[in-house]
């Protein structure tokens, strides 16, 4: 049986323009979360919960990191949370990226904007639990939006791309993917147009993509968050995703 969960806020820090990192305590989530999974957060005054990817966990301190952009009322409210506050969450929800990968794979992680946090979780876990070779490509709108560059650098080769060229390479992530011909697998999370471009550019290697959709229940019951699959069906992002084999879904 799944239980009522609360996370106790340890800190909320602004780490880039409108972007916040929240560290909160919940031992079960910190132990069980897989990269790509999310927590579904109740924010008082709002009918629906907000899905936010788990950006990292540290079971030794029972801590869970979330990185989110304050774009609307819910995330703005969340960015004002103070240490000590209790958050009502469901999770970890969804399937997540499997990190059961053969050691000789050379993986490419591609994250865009708020798609970067789950990529970080994946990178961190891969580096902690395997010795797989990791290259990361991270896209942001502009210099001030960049976050977690250091953290990724610590894990492996990391390339930053910005839309306006104010930092790293000027352009979009797909502009530089040609450089990484040795990669045998990719994982990606970011806005839909980016995922589409990544999928078509990297169609020669297997890939997994993590998707977003507006959610009702967040647990698989309401059919709000579906994604068309190549066999003319739908899959539920909240429960059968958010991570899908790239070639099985229609982006």
Partner 1 sequence: MNLSVKLPGLNLKNPIMPASGCFGFGKEYSEYYDLSLLGGVMMKAATQFERLGNPTPRVAETSAGMLNAIGLQNPGVQQIIDQEVPRLAKYDTSIIANIAGSSIEEYEFVAASFNQTEDVHALELNISCPNVKQGGIQFGTDPTMAKKVTGVVKKVSNKPVYVKLSPNVHNIVQMAKAVEEAGADGLSMINTLTGMKIHLPSRKPLIANKTGGLSGPAIKPVAIRMIYEVRQQVSIPIIGMGGIFNAEDVLEFLIAGADAVAVGTANFQNPFACVDIINELPVVLERYGFHSIEDVIETRGITV
Ligand X SMILES: Cc1cc2nc3c(=O)[nH]c(=O)nc-3n(C[C@H](O)[C@H](O)[C@H](O)COP(=O)(O)OP(=O)(O)OC[C@H]3O[C@@H](n4cnc5c(N)ncnc54)[C@H](O)[C@@H]3O)c2cc1C
Ligand Y SMILES: Cc1cc2nc3c(=O)[nH]c(=O)nc-3n(C[C@H](O)[C@H](O)[C@H](O)COP(=O)(O)O)c2cc1C
According to the annotation, is 217 in a ligand binding site? yes
Residue 121 binding result from ligand X, partner 1, ligand FES, none, given CB thresholds of 5 to 8 Å by partner type = none
Check residue 217 for interaction with ligand FES (CB under 6 A).
Answer: yes
**Complete DSSP assignment for 106-153:** EEEEEEEGGGHHHHHHHHHHHHHH---EEEEEEEESSGGG--SHHHHH
Check residue 188 for interaction with ligand X (CB under 6 A).
Answer: no
Residue 67 binding result from ligand FES, ligand Y, partner 1, none, given CB thresholds of 5 to 8 Å by partner type = none
161, 176, 250 from 201: Cα distances, Å: 16, 10, 15
Site residues for ligand X, 82-141, by CB under 6 A, read 114, 117
According to the annotation, is 189 in a ligand binding site? no
Stretch that binds ligand FES, among 12-20, 158-166, 184-192, 210-218 (CB under 6 A): 210-218
Check residue 214 for interaction with ligand X (CB under 6 A).
Answer: yes
Buried b or exposed e, range 145-184, using 16+ CB within 10 angstroms: bbbbbebbeebbebbbbbeeeebbbeebbbebbeebeebe
Footprint on this chain of partner 1 (rule: CB under 8 A)? 1-2, 4, 42, 46-49, 90, 213-227, 232-234, 239
Q: Which of 220, 229, 235, 251 is the binder for ligand FES (CB under 6 A)? A: 220
> d(Cα 52, Cα 184) in Å, to the nearest integer?
29
User: Which of 100, 163, 168, 98 lies closest to 136 in space, CA to CA?
Assistant: 168
Residue 69 binding result from partner 1, ligand X, ligand FES, none, given CB thresholds of 5 to 8 Å by partner type = ligand X
Please report, as ranges, the residues that interact with ligand FES according to CB under 6 A: 215-218, 220-225, 236, 238
Per the annotation, binding residues for [2Fe-2S] cluster are 217, 222, 225, 238
């Amino acid at each position: 049986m799944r239980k009522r969960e609360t996370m106790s806020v340890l800190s909320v820090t602004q780490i880039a323009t409108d972007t916040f990192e929240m560290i909160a305590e919940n031992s079960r989530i910190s132990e069980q979360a897989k990269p790509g999974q999310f927590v579904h957060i109740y924010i008082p005054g709002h009918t629906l919960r907000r899905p936010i990817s788990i950006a990292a966990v540290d079971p030794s301190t029972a801590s869970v990191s979330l990185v989110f952009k304050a774009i609307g009322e819910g995330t703005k409210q969340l960015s004002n949370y103070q240490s000590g506050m209790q958050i009502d969450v469901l999770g970890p929800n969804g399937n997540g990226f499997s990190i059961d990968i053969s050691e000789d794979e050379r993986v490419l992680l591609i994250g865009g904007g708020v798609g970067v946090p789950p990529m970080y979780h994946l990178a961190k876990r891969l580096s902690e639990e395997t010795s797989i070779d990791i290259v990361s490509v991270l896209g942001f709108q502009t210099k001030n939006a960049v976050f977690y560059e250091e953290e990724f650098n610590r894990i492996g080769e990391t390339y930053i791309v910005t839309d306006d060229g104010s930092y790293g390479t000027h352009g979009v992530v797909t502009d530089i993917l040609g450089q990484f011909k040795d990669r045998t697998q990719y994982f990606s999370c970011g806005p839909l147009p980016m995922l589409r471009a990544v999928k078509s550019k990297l169609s020669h290697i297997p890939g997994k993509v993590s998707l977003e959709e507006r959610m009702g229940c967040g647990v698989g019951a309401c059919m709000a968050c579906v994604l068309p699959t190549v066999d003319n069906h739908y899959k539920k992002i909240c429960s059968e995703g958010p991570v899908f084999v790239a070639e099985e879904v229609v982006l």
